[in-house]
Amino acid sequence: MTARILEGKVFAAQIKEEAARGVESIKKEFGITPSLAVIIVGENPASQVYVRNKHKTCEELGIRSEVVTMPENTTKEELIAEIDELNLDKSINGILVQLPLPAAIKAHEEEILNRIDPLKDVDGFHPYNVGKLVTGSPTLVPCTPAGCIKMLDFAGIEIDGKRAVIIGRSNIVGKPMLHLLMSRHATVTVCHSHTHNLAEVTREADILVAAMGKPKFVTADMVKPGSVIVDVGINRNAPKKLVGDVDFDNVKDIASAITPVPGGVGLLTVAMLMQNVVKAARLQLQ
């Protein structure tokens, strides 16, 4: 068997189409253009690429985008003051602080992110939004896991009643993915670096989500024949060469569907961010 390849660009286009329709309806109903402010601190080249990509996608969908560039030596207080200003600015619907922060303020990341108005928190990282997700009333949900669920839906892959296994328990991917899959009535197991007999658990998965950050870690013997493999991992194993957490070449012969890296889940994240900007604008207008 050769798996169906779940091409990120196909599903990202569908997610962006939905977002563009949302932008249009807000413009018609309220006469405003949804807007996103992205704060980038320092000169991390990868972050600069991500921010440019977000800006470009906003423009493509008719979302107003503002990039706030702050120097490497920005203090925690200066960054918080900028967030406070954007929180009060009624013309801004979404605020995102590009991570990672420079080393000097990295330790304050939680305090900084928690300063963002929860209604403008388009990354979905604020404890208020995390609480809404956990209690079953999701509003602004982290973009990568939310994008994966959209992809499964667009691909016509059933979640209800399925056995799902997630490798990784981060706040950005693993934990929100647990709640999203559980809310869709999957039976979910979360594995992490202390899990014993990992392969035994992953072999039970109808849907296996790899989000650990270990190149090609998930090998064919860890996968149940016919399962759906969602590879969230992005690992740089040589300059300009990206690989996922899954040994794609071998696993694709066993799975029924699989996301490639690059060209898979990575493309869904920015598309889903656009939907969160639309959602944030609606939350503020209600």
Q: Does 193 bind ligand NAD (CB under 6 A)?
A: yes
Q: State the minimum distance, in angstroms, from the CB of residue 171 to ligand NAD.
A: 8
In the bound state with ligand NAD, the residue whose beta carbon lies nearer, of 26 and 38, is 38
User: Is 275 an annotated catalytic residue?
Assistant: no
Q: Does 12 bind ligand NAD (CB under 6 A)?
A: no
d(CA 99, CA 125): 12
Show contacts with ligand NAD in window 19-78 (CB under 6 A): none
In the bound state with ligand NAD, the residue whose beta carbon lies nearer, of 92 and 151, is 151
Annotated active-site residue in 98, 175, 216, 231: 98
In the bound state with ligand NAD, the residue whose beta carbon lies nearer, of 185 and 192, is 192
d(CA 279, CA 206): 31
d(CA 113, CA 164): 30
User: Is 252 an annotated catalytic residue?
Assistant: no
Q: Are strands 241-243 and 257-258 parallel, antiparallel or unpaired?
A: unpaired
Burial zone of 95 (CB within 10 Å; 0-12 exposed, 13-18 middle, 19+ buried): buried
Q: From residue 253, how far is each of 223, 227, 229 by CA, in Å? A: 10, 11, 12
Q: State the minimum distance, in angstroms, from the CB of residue 174 to ligand NAD.
A: 6
20: alpha, beta or left? (left if phi > 0; alpha if psi -120 to 50): alpha
Neighbours of 91 (CB within 10 A): 11
Q: State the minimum distance, in angstroms, from the CB of residue 173 to ligand NAD.
A: 4
Q: Does 170 bind ligand NAD (CB under 6 A)?
A: yes
Binding mask 206-225 for ligand NAD (x = CB under 6 A): -----xxxx-----------
Q: Contact residues for ligand NAD (CB under 6 A)?
A: 144, 167-170, 172-174, 191-193, 195, 198, 211-214, 232-235, 265-266, 269
